[in-house]
Amino acid sequence: MQKPFKLAAAAALVLSVLTPATGASAEGLIRISQQFGTLYLPLHVIRDQNLIEKHAKALGLHEVKVEWAQLSGGDAINAALLSGSIDIAAAGIGPFLTLWDRTDGTVKIVAGLANQPNYLVTTNPNVKSLKDLTTSDKIALPAVGVSVQARILQIAAEKEFGEGNQNKLDNITVSLPHPDATSALLSGSTEITSHLSNTPFQEQALKDAKVHKVFSSYDILGGPVTPTYLYATTDWREENPKTFQAFFEALKEADAWIEANKKEAAETYVRVENSKLDPAFVQSLIESPESKFTVVPSRSYAFADFLHRTGAIKKKAESWKDYTFEELHNESGS
């Protein structure tokens, strides 16, 4: 059975706790976080089709309880994982690598969610590149400094302004969940003039004539990027091998189903999210050549290398396999 739950206190937990909580979970229980956007469609499909329960039963687990939490921002999600309030975290590569570093590698990636671009969009007609931004421009993103959008902005800033200038624009960033950031941008009634967004919010914003795209993360990183990941503690995986495997198999099935049934997948997104978006619009986003639902990480190591080189994390990864579970190691990841 599936049960939603709230973690309002999670954001207040201190991320300086370096050892994940243990003993709170048991085989047959899985608590999963998710955020906003079509990146999380595989989780919607898993939930809608009871895929964890299906694969758990095949593995001999006839009773499995699945709980879902919708959180926003890497800090809150990482705190929830460390406290033992959730078992599977869903957040950007930036928050993940921060936690991987601070826990000395005892948190690892289970799988990627999808390859999808992040656009920097703006209502300021004068902003054609990052050099055009001023202190009057405020850029909304899910979590200042640590979210994948924040790290993409830092990589872009270093490319634009030169080595050592990766933090040049951090002082004009503001933390907001994507739905709130989109509303603020389109309303024009707040300080928000730009948004480092994701799908479907960036495409929704670009329907407005006063909004234009400054860059895509694919431009900044040199090709398709997996921005968001599912990750767990090594202890939880070891203590719950069948539940872990059921989740991983459910995720692979969900990805394959989405790629083969994009119209139905769009309808699932709208239904599960209780979204007001036109299913045909969502389908067009899923059908975009820039979008691919796969568990295989793409360009994650570019972030790991950047964060280590700039001193944001101390732990150096020699390969993307250093921070992922072995189920992915036969894939052509990066």
| pLDDT tens digits along 234-251 | 999 999 999 999 999 999
Does 333 reside within a domain? no
16 pLDDT above the threshold of 60 = no
Same domain, 82 and 94: yes
**By C-alpha distance, which of 85, 96, 97 is closest to 33?**
85
Q: How many domains does the chain have?
A: 2
What's the whole-number mean pLDDT along residues 264-282? 93
Final residue in a domain of this structure, among 221, 247, 266: 221
Q: E strands, 144-246, where? A: 173-175, 192-196, 212-216, 228-233
- 110 and 230 assigned to the same domain: yes
Asked if residue 91 and residue 14 are part of one domain, the reply reads yes
Q: Is the Cβ–Cβ distance between 220 and 155 less than 8 Å?
A: yes
Among the ranges given (23-37, 70-84, 131-145, 197-211), the one the predictor scored with the smallest mean pLDDT: 23-37
Residues 74 and 217 grouped into a single domain: no
Burial class of residue 136, CB neighbours in 10 A (0-12, 13-18, 19+): exposed
Do 74 and 177 belong to one domain?
no
State the Cα–Cα distance between residues 11 and 6, nearest whole angstrom.
12
Q: Which domain holds residue 182?
A: 119-221
pLDDT in tens, 61-112: 988 999 998 876 778 899 999 999 999 999 999 999 999 999 999 999 999 9
pLDDT of residue 70: 81
pLDDT number for residue 244: 97
Q: Is the pLDDT of residue 4 over 90?
A: no
Phi, psi of 113 (to 5 degrees): -95, -45
**Which of residues 221, 255, 285 is at a domain's end?**
221
Q: Are residues 179 and 203 in the same domain?
A: yes
Task: Identify the CATH number of the domain in which residue 65 sits.
Answer: 3.40.190.10
69 and 132 in one domain?
Answer: no
Q: What is the mean pLDDT of residues 179-203?
A: 93
Q: Which of these three, 221, 242, 271, is where a domain ends? A: 221
SS3 assignment, position 138: strand
Q: Are 144 and 20 part of one and the same domain?
A: no
Which residue stretches of the chain are H helix? 41-49, 51-58, 74-83, 93-102, 148-161, 178-187, 201-206, 217-221, 234-239, 241-260, 262-273, 279-286, 300-309
Q: What pLDDT shows up at residue 76?
A: 86
- In the DSSP assignment, the letter for residue 292 is B
Smallest Cα–Cα separation from 231: which of 57, 64, 98, 59?
98
Whether residues 182 and 233 fall in one domain: no
The mean per-residue pLDDT over the stretch 252-264 comes to 97
Q: Are 282 and 153 part of one and the same domain?
A: no
Q: Is residue 294 part of a domain?
A: yes
Has residue 295 been placed in a domain? yes
Distance CA 29, CA 258 (A): 25
* Domain-embedded: residue 334: no
**Residue 21 pLDDT grade (very low, low, confident, very high; cuts 50, 70, 90):** very low
